[in-house]
């Protein structure tokens, strides 16, 4: 990457060196005698994984006339293509079956914090859920997870339009049964919708975030699944996001990350209070590597910011340094030169 204004560089990742410098120290401090809540795949089943690989599928004209929601048929076609390109399988059902087993308890983490104009779209989530059921996962083993009822409403998923038997879990930052533990020096618990799942499908977005700079796959899980997310915002949420994702509860469960990029928010996120910075993008991404996916997402946000004459996130003092920290913790690939981005247009 040669354009230092619009693309994140290794130097950008190293901004916030104080946070980076504390990461190793925090590993030993937080590892104190905590009960193990790691999940394991069903016996004999090995979920598909491809570190450093990200697939992007684009389709011009895939948004409805309102430029807010994707056309259902296009969302399904794009999801099918991104999943088959990622896995090498011939169809969506077979591709989905590489990630979930009929014995799994599957949580589907959506993101509706910006409400209906900038949330995970039901048109993308529903065909994935239907494919899981077609692959043999009982509908009763699938739970859609979100933080608040209003956030879930933003996805336009409802008890009436999801497959019969699929559950909805809204935790409101309080539905947790696990033992309390320390993460990045902060006491917390992960919510029951997460701990009672054996597998998670992570449907994130590509957005600017006023505190941590960027919000995508990593933060959708960390701040969306704890009882006190507000306590993990200091120092631009670095290294907290990386440290939270590195906990056994999350990293042992997330099997797949999908980025709903029909739209991108380049400034004023994570809410949608400045819609002039919400732009059509008409793409879907898939990866088993949340760090690589967030690296690409950050790059996209910076390109839009450059086009609109906005400062880089680094220049604004809120570079998402947690992405590099997550890579340093072994959660994925942040080195752009080592990320395999496959781009397909349909």
Residue of 202, 210, 284 whose CA lies nearest to 245: 202
Length in residues, the chain: 346
According to DSSP, the residues that pair with 345 across neighbouring strands are 58
Q: Tokens standing for 24? A: 């190793």
User: Which ranges in 38-71 belong to alpha helices (H)?
Assistant: none
Count Cα neighbours of 142 within 13 Å in the Cβ-side half-sphere.
Answer: 26
According to DSSP, the residues that pair with 101 across neighbouring strands are none
Residue of 113, 37, 109, 63 whose CA lies nearest to 258: 109
- From first to last of the 346 residues of the chain, give the pLDDT tens digit: 334 334 555 444 444 444 444 444 444 444 445 799 999 999 999 999 999 999 999 999 999 999 999 999 999 999 999 999 999 999 999 999 999 999 999 999 999 999 999 999 999 999 999 999 999 999 999 999 999 999 999 999 999 999 999 999 999 999 999 999 999 999 999 999 999 999 999 999 999 999 999 999 999 999 999 999 999 999 999 999 999 999 999 999 999 999 999 999 999 999 999 999 999 999 999 999 999 999 999 999 999 999 999 999 999 999 999 999 999 999 999 999 999 999 999 9
Q: Where are the domains of the chain?
A: 10-31+49-345
Helix (H, G, I), strand (E, B) or coil at 142: strand
CB atoms within 10 A of CB 209: 23
Helix (H, G, I), strand (E, B) or coil at 68: coil
**Distance between CA atoms of residues 244 and 284, nearest Å:** 25
The CATH class that applies to domain 10-31+49-345 reads: alpha beta
**What pTM was computed for the model?**
0.91
């Amino acid at each position: 990457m040669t354009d230092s204004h619009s693309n994140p560089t290794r130097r950008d990742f190293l901004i916030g060196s104080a946070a980076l410098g504390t990461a190793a120290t925090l590993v030993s401090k937080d590892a104190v005698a905590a009960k193990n809540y790691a999940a394991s795949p069903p016996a004999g089943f090995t979920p598909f994984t491809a570190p450093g690989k990200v697939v992007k599928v684009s389709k011009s004209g895939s948004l409805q006339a309102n430029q807010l929601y994707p056309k259902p048929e296009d969302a399904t076609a794009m999801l099918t293509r991104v999943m088959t390109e990622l896995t090498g399988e011939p169809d969506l059902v077979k591709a989905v079956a590489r990630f979930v087993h009929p014995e799994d308890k599957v949580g589907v983490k959506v993101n509706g914090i910006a409400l209906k104009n900038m949330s995970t779209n039901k048109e993308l989530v529903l065909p994935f859920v239907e494919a899981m059921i077609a692959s043999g996962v009982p509908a009763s083993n699938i739970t859609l997870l979100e933080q608040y009822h209003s956030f879930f409403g933003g996805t336009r998923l409802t008890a009436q339009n999801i497959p019969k038997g699929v559950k909805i879990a809204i935790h409101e930052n309080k539905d947790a049964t696990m033992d309390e533990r320390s993460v990045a020096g902060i006491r917390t618990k992960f919510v029951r919708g997460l701990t009672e799942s054996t597998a998670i499908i992570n449907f994130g977005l590509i957005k600017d975030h006023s505190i941590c700079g960027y919000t995508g796959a990593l933060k959708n899980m960390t701040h969306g699944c704890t009882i006190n997310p507000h306590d993990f915002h200091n120092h631009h949420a670095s290294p907290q996001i990386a440290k939270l994702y590195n906990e056994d509860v999350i990293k042992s469960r997330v099997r797949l990350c999908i980025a709903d990029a029909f739209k991108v928010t380049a400034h004023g996120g994570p809410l949608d209070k400045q819609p002039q910075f919400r732009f059509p993008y008409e793409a879907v991404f898939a990866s088993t590597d949340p760090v690589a996916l967030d690296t690409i997402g950050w790059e996209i946000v910076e390109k839009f910011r450059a086009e609109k004459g906005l400062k880089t996130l680094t220049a604004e003092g809120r570079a998402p340094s947690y992405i590099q920290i997550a890579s340093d913790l072994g959660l994925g690939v942040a080195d752009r030169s080592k990320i395999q981005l496959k781009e397909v247009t349909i």
